[in-house]
Chain A
Amino acid sequence: MAKILVFTETNKENVKSVSLEIVGKLNGHDVDVASVGDIGAEGVAELAKHGAANIHCLKGDNLDEYTPEGFANALKEFISSNSYDYVFAGSTPTGKDLLPRLAGMFDAGMASEVTNFQFDGDEFQGTRPMFAGKCLCKVRIQGPKPHFVSVRPNALGLNESPTAGAGNKADVTASAGEIRAAIKEIIKGASEKVDLSEANIIVSGGRAMKNAENFKILDELAEVIGATVGASRAAVDSGYAPHSMQVGQTGKTVAPSLYIACGISGAIQHLAGMRTSKVIVAINTDPDAPIFTKADYGIVGDLFQIVPILKEELKQLLG
């Protein structure tokens, strides 16, 4: 049984879901959790439910907001005094920034972006994608301990039936040390839509949209899931959408993680522009439409009926 620390980010109340995924996956080991800043009762309960034994909230001057050096210094002190074998964290923007620096403080190795892992006795063995997912490989860590691991969010999934841990919460006094790079302000994400070619989620409409006004149901769906709206050439040529929204051979080439094609038949010109999307959902009344050959999830149905249901369902899920 290895002695493991999971670093979690906190908004003073809750913790990130990736932390629960990691803690749940580590059932059977001696798992502590550490955060910089307080965790509320709800967060503590969740962590305990998934298997956390001790929950340490590090507090001290200059630790209210994230700084790479402040957080790393505070955690270093804590980790050293508790001699952990492993330190895990989610591969979030903060985790990605913090963990390598922390690993460097111990001259220790770190496995990045792990999507799955197991322990052979006390020895960690992970799997991770490389070359933008074109290859997978096994990863092991050697050299001085603790060993560091960052885990990609949503990859492990939540443990459905975790063994609960004690969930003893304690505050720890920590010191931020010297901070040479400090946040002076945070600029909120621009409300304007992300450009199609950069978008992580795209909702696209085709000829079956029938007119420009109907695109508002796609706008509403996009609003719920933070998507950008696109269109097929047929829709653009018919004047339902401007050319700047066109996805395909003579439009934009896109590669979002989710592409929702509504009323698009899937002409080869369109497929050329979106075939590298990670996951494709197609909604079309024609069960033989070529788009279904590319879709991971095909819904044979009327987009005017399906899209509003989809919007409500997603709204509920994403809260």
Chain B
Amino acid sequence: MNIFVCVKQVPDTETKVVPNGDGTFIETNAIKWIMNPYDEFAVEQALLVKASNAGSTVTVVRVGAVHDTEALRTALAMGADDAILVEGDDSLDSYMTAKALKGAIEKSGKSPDLIFSGKQAIDSDCLQVPQLLAQMLNLPSVSVVVGYEGDSSKITLKREIEGGALEVYDCSTPAVIACNKGINTPRYASLPGIMKAKKKPLAQHSLADVGVSTDDRRVVYSEFHLPPEKPAGKKFDAMDEANQANIVKEVVGLLRTEAKVI
């Protein structure tokens, strides 16, 4: 089987995010980059599928800028066979990213049997690329997948929806599968794995190489700014039984209309 995994490099969840000087993106100088956490589940699932299908290969693909750390190296150290990097800005939109992934997969010369990705990247939180990629490749896709079973021709996937309910899909392959937490426990890259990864092939392409140009931009982001400071809390005196009901009513109302959490 030819298994592909799409990964993204995102700022560490603990990194302080601040808009850059002209508000066109965030300040990327001091950021520590990590593999998008949901993509770790995708890499792990690909490796699990590979382990139970002799002769399979796992190719990891990333579109983005080159930084100190390299998510592709981590995936190779975890056990992927080869990697493709398409060099581009970190601020590409979902359409360009999906198109670049498609181009990179086609350029590899291997016809994909399965394509895994994380359910979303925790930086832009768009949740678009897996479905877009599937559409561009004319493949079925299932997103937010928390359960995987399958052989080479048919797979059964569990997709998480509201309230922890699960939709169980029968899906033909090839397919795009966007993984959520719960599908597996990603392994650590072992140190011998890291040393071996050094020798694994990493192909590098430009956006133009994979058929993406600036004309492909569909979404323009601007005016990055910090969210307004959280206002000071509101305190209500409800020691007197007479006004307790009113106060509770007011707080519940605020939870719905102001805080929007219920």
Direct contact of A and B (CB under 8 A): yes
0 or 1 for each of B121-156: is its CB under 8 Å from A? (1 = yes) = 011111111111011100111111000000000001
B217 on the A face (CB < 8 A):
yes
Give B91 Cβ to nearest chain A Cβ, in Å. Answer: 10
Give A113 Cβ to nearest chain B Cβ, in Å. Answer: 6
Known: A131-B123, A134-B17. A140 touches B220 (CB 8 A): yes
B51 on the A face (CB < 8 A):
no
Cα A302 to Cα B131 in complex, Å, equals 51
Q: A181-B157, A182-B169, A313-B245 are in contact. List 13 more A-B contacts (CB 8 A).
A: A96-B144, A97-B159, A103-B95, A104-B131, A135-B226, A139-B220, A181-B142, A295-B233, A299-B251, A300-B235, A301-B244, A309-B248, A317-B256
A194 on the B face (CB < 8 A):
yes
Give A190 Cβ to nearest chain B Cβ, in Å. Answer: 6
For residue B168, which residues in chain A have a CB less than 8 angstroms away from its CB? Answer: 183-187
Does the CB pair A143–B135 fall under 8 Å? no
B208 on the A face (CB < 8 A):
no
State which of A163-171, A239-247, A279-287 sits at the interface with chain B: A279-287
Q: Report which of A130, A138, A225, A278 forms a contact with B123, defined as CB distance below 8 A.
A: A130
State which of B66-74, B170-178, B183-191, B199-207 sits at the interface with chain A: B170-178
Known: A68-B131, A69-B140, A309-B244. A287 touches B259 (CB 8 A): no
Does the CB pair A137–B221 fall under 8 Å? yes
0 or 1 for each of A15-33: is its CB under 8 Å from B? (1 = yes) = 0000000000000000000
Known: A104-B136, A112-B128. A300 touches B237 (CB 8 A): yes
| Complex A-B: 9 CB contacts under 8 Å | A68-B142, A103-B128, A104-B135, A109-B93, A110-B126, A113-B127, A184-B170, A279-B261, A299-B251
Give B190 Cβ to nearest chain A Cβ, in Å. Answer: 27
Known: A68-B131, A279-B261. A135 touches B239 (CB 8 A): no
B1 on the A face (CB < 8 A):
no
Cα A181 to Cα B167 in complex, Å, equals 11
Cα A296 to Cα B258 in complex, Å, equals 11
Cα A264 to Cα B172 in complex, Å, equals 53
Q: Report which of B123, B132, B139, B164 forms a contact with A194, defined as CB distance below 8 A.
A: B164
B65 on the A face (CB < 8 A):
no
Does the CB pair B144–A131 fall under 8 Å? no
- A131-184 contacts to B, CB under 8 A, are 131-143, 154-155, 157, 179-184
Does the CB pair B125–A130 fall under 8 Å? yes
For residue A226, which residues in chain B have a CB less than 8 angstroms away from its CB? Answer: 163
Does the CB pair B219–A180 fall under 8 Å? no
A319 on the B face (CB < 8 A):
no
B26 on the A face (CB < 8 A):
yes
Does the CB pair B233–A292 fall under 8 Å? yes
Cα A205 to Cα B49 in complex, Å, equals 45
For residue B142, which residues in chain A have a CB less than 8 angstroms away from its CB? Answer: 68, 181
Classify the interface of chain A: helix, strand, loop or mixed. mixed
B48 on the A face (CB < 8 A):
no
* Interface size, A (range): 35 or more
For residue A317, which residues in chain B have a CB less than 8 angstroms away from its CB? Answer: 252, 256, 262
- A267-319 contacts to B, CB under 8 A, are 278-281, 285, 287, 292-302, 305-306, 309-310, 313-314, 317-318
Closest 7 A-B residue pairs measured CB to CB?
A109-B218, A104-B135, A301-B238, A189-B164, A180-B140, A100-B131, A181-B140
Does the CB pair A299–B238 fall under 8 Å? yes
B55 on the A face (CB < 8 A):
no
For residue A294, which residues in chain B have a CB less than 8 angstroms away from its CB? Answer: 233
0 or 1 for each of A103-119: is its CB under 8 Å from B? (1 = yes) = 11101111111000000
Does the CB pair A93–B161 fall under 8 Å? yes
B8 on the A face (CB < 8 A):
no
Cα A258 to Cα B19 in complex, Å, equals 28
A101 on the B face (CB < 8 A):
yes
For residue A216, which residues in chain B have a CB less than 8 angstroms away from its CB? Answer: none
0 or 1 for each of A65-91: is its CB under 8 Å from B? (1 = yes) = 010110010000000000000000000
B62 on the A face (CB < 8 A):
no
Cα A308 to Cα B122 in complex, Å, equals 38
Give B108 Cβ to nearest chain A Cβ, in Å. Answer: 21
For residue B256, which residues in chain A have a CB less than 8 angstroms away from its CB? Answer: 317
For residue A257, which residues in chain B have a CB less than 8 angstroms away from its CB? Answer: 261
A129 on the B face (CB < 8 A):
yes
Does the CB pair B143–A96 fall under 8 Å? yes
Give A142 Cβ to nearest chain B Cβ, in Å. Answer: 6
Known: A97-B144, A299-B236. A136 touches B227 (CB 8 A): yes
Cα A36 to Cα B131 in complex, Å, equals 19
B52 on the A face (CB < 8 A):
no
For residue B125, which residues in chain A have a CB less than 8 angstroms away from its CB? Answer: 112-113, 129-132
Q: Report which of B16, B98, B219 forms a contact with A141, defined as CB distance below 8 A.
A: B219
Does the CB pair B128–A297 fall under 8 Å? no
Interface centre among B19, B167, B223, B238 (most CB of A within 10 A): B167
- Minimum CB distance partner of A311 in chain B: B248
Does the CB pair A189–B165 fall under 8 Å? yes
Does the CB pair A93–B17 fall under 8 Å? no
Does the CB pair B259–A314 fall under 8 Å? no
